[in-house]
Amino acid sequence: MSETLLDLRGMRCPWPALRVARAIREAGPDATAILAVADDPIAPREITAVATERGWAATPKITQIGPGLRLSANVR
């Protein structure tokens, strides 16, 4: 399983969602997950919307660097 970490802390929306959209677009065929960590309070909602729109599932996950979202490609 290939998981990419996106540290989006310090970015304000819409930047976290735009970075996630790029990461999904650039993900290779072996990519199965992206872990996005953002501290903007609006980011989880926007990141989830971007992921869902592209056929990825988003689930909350606590990481060592803060709360984040695990985006799974298994629903593509």
Structural domain boundaries of the chain? 2-72
pLDDT given at position 6: 93
pLDDT given at position 74: 61
List CB contacts of 53: < 8 A, sequence separation 6 or more.
none
pLDDT tens readout for residues 22-73: 999 998 667 789 999 999 999 999 999 999 999 899 999 988 888 898 999 8
The amino acid sitting at 21 is A
CATH architecture of the domain formed by 2-72 = 2-Layer Sandwich (3.30)
pLDDT band at 76 (very low <50, low <70, confident <90, very high): very low
Taking each helix axis from N to C end, the angle separating 43-53 and 15-26, rounded to the nearest 10 degrees, works out to: 30
Is residue 75 predicted with pLDDT exceeding 60?
no
pLDDT given at position 1: 53
Three-class DSSP category at 30: coil
Please give the Cα distance from 52 to 61 (Å, whole number). 17
